[in-house]
Amino acid sequence: MTKASEKGRAVAAAEQAPLSSPASAPTSAPLTVLGIETSCDETAVAVLRLHPAPPGEDGPGRAEVLADIVYSQVKEHAAFGGVVPEIAARAHVALLDRLLRAALDEAGLRWRDIDAVAATAGPGLIGGLLVGLMSAKAIALAHRVPLLAVNHLQAHALSPMLAGAGVRPPYLLLLVSGGHTQLISVDDIDRYRRLGTTIDDALGEAFDKVAKMLDLGYPGGPAVERLAAQGDAARFDFPRPMLRREECHFSFSGLKTAVRTAILDLAGSGAATQNGGSSLREQDRADICASFQQAVVDTLADRVRCAMGRFRGLHPQARQPWLVLAGGVAANAAIRAALEEVARAEGFRLAAPPVRLCTDNAVMVAHVGALKLARGEVDGLDVSARPRWPLDEAAEPAPFAGVKG
């Protein structure tokens, strides 16, 4: 048979295939899942094997990471001071095939060894989501394996379970990332109750905007944290929004505005130098970063204490429950240290994934995919990308939060 006729038969078979992934029943066998993450500006592919729990042991089993590849697009977006959706989507298209091959090579596997393919289907930038999800659909169809559409927030929420610390639901989750700042009661692997959210900016956005105002470059969060270590956190009395409020919501817009006002005041008072444009002295920048970061830490500590009371009301049977910190901002060492103190004082234990699992990655996507597959859950090939996909879809909108609620 010629190569042309072989290709024709393959195309015909694909066209006749049903628009759904193969059915899957709950299983106790090891599951090997390929994960794809393209929701923002990281192109990531991973291979994870979920081993079943030993007989008599409760839990989802042990996750073994066989491959973990992340390409960060920082260079592509640095000149713009933030993520440009069109550039991100084009980079995913250019990179994904190569990363898929590299992940299989790193894992020492072939396509026939993969039990399922999981991809982030939302929330995120729609262009990037489509690249990853459509690639996963093609893999599922070509290799006749189940497709698993993963919620990016769920992947972050369950990522601490990968660290081997014995974290299991129910637990209290503080999810802090570039697009989300939420407090959530994780009742089970697939059940979530939102206790609080931001009514304006997400914390990651606030870090990035402060960095941009100070001309610290992109990404902003790590730059602010580095400079804050050299600054005086008591120099500027920035506001602590929503402090001691009964509801567990956040607000960072006013804090961001206060930082901008401080920058303009310093520039207007002559505390600036000329270096290819007006800029503050390095110590002024450091003091602003330190004062901003301290305001963030104090705000998070207060809002987490509020949510801890709510969580204990929902789960009175929990003894020394977990406070889980997840998302990109969870990599901030000052935030981790402060929440460790809060957890200890309130009778909680703090769990946070390794720093490499805080930022966007495909390991957490493959992990959720494997958990779904183990429960017999699969998605059809007609599943859609969702730029907005809340964990708790029944949650009431937060006041003034609009679509972010």
pLDDT tens column, 239-285? 999 999 999 999 999 999 999 999 999 987 655 443 322 469 999 99
The CA distance from 56 to 187, in Å, is 22
**Residues paired with residue 37 on neighbouring β-strands, in sequence order:** 44
The number of beta carbons lying within 10 Å of the beta carbon of residue 84 is 17
Model pTM score: 0.86
Using only C-alpha atoms, the chain has a radius of gyration, in whole angstroms, of 23
160 compared with 127, residue with greater pLDDT: 127
Query: Which of 40, 129, 84 is closest to 386 using CA atoms?
Result: 129
CA atoms within 13 A on the CB side of 397: 7
**Residues paired with residue 70 on neighbouring β-strands, in sequence order:** 44
The CA distance from 162 to 214, in Å, is 36
pLDDT tens column, 310-330? 999 999 999 899 999 998 888
Query: Which of 33, 38, 29 is closest to 107 using CA atoms?
Result: 33
pLDDT tens column, 231-241? 999 999 999 99
Give the 3-state secondary structure of residue 93.
Answer: helix
- Kindly indicate the confidence band of residue 373, based on its pLDDT and cuts at 50, 70 and 90: very high
Domains and CATH numbers, the chain: 19-161+359-393 (3.30.420.40), 168-353 (3.30.420.40)
Burial of 401 (0-12, 13-18, 19+ CB in 10 A): middle
Q: Enumerate residues 6+ apart whose C-beta is below 8 A from 239.
A: 254, 255, 258, 295
The CA distance from 252 to 287, in Å, is 19
Cβ 147 vs Cβ 365: under 8 Å: no
